Amino acid sequence: MAFLIDTDIIIYSLKGNEEVNNWMIENQNIPKYISVITYGELTYGARKSGHPEKNTATVNRIAELFQIIDINQGIIEIFGELKAKLEISGNRIDDMDLLIASTSLYMNLSLVTNNKNHFSRIPDLILENWEGK
């Protein structure tokens, strides 16, 4: 199965997290994607940082390394269904994270995240944590 990499895992990798980087190397032949939401979060972080030019260049490099999955009608339909179910059950999740999870479900990708407790509220979402803490 291919992977959708969450924003936190990309950040761990950029910070030199050995476990995450080892997982990236061990799984180098398995397709890895990021959501356009992750790309947006990384762009935001780069622009507000103390070194926006350098960090924006890093984000641009990430966009070359990982295919970016755009939001489409199917993802939005899953998002709407999940958001309604989670609100009714009292388990709300931030819309951006819910869009990332909806992308993972729609594309049938394992979501790689360090935020398993948060995303575990979503039924049928396949989760992996490469950070290991």
Q: What are the pLDDT digits (tens) for 68-106?
A: 999 999 999 999 999 999 999 999 999 999 999 999 999
Give the closest residue to 34 by CA, choosing from 54, 76, 64, 72. Answer: 64
Average pLDDT over residues 115-128: 89
Single pTM value for the model: 0.92
Q: How does residue 131 score in pLDDT terms, banded at 50, 70 and 90?
A: low
Mean pLDDT of the chain: 94
* Residues 18-31: tens digit of each pLDDT: 999 999 999 999 99
According to DSSP H, which parts of the chain are helical?
7-14, 18-26, 36-48, 52-65, 73-88, 95-107, 116-119
- Residues whose CB falls within 8 Å of the CB of residue 81, separated by 6 or more in sequence, listed in order: none
pLDDT band at 109 (very low <50, low <70, confident <90, very high): very high
Where residue 69 falls (left for φ over 0; alpha for ψ -120 to 50; beta otherwise) is beta
Q: Report domain extents, the chain.
A: 3-128
Instruction: Supply the pLDDT for residue 45.
Output: 96
pLDDT score recorded for residue 96: 96
Higher pLDDT, residue 129 or 7 = 7
Looking at the domain that runs over 3-128, which CATH code has it been given? 3.40.50.1010
| DSSP-assigned beta bridge partners for residue 3 | 32, 110
Return the structure tokens found at 97.
């994270």
| pLDDT of 133 above 50 | no
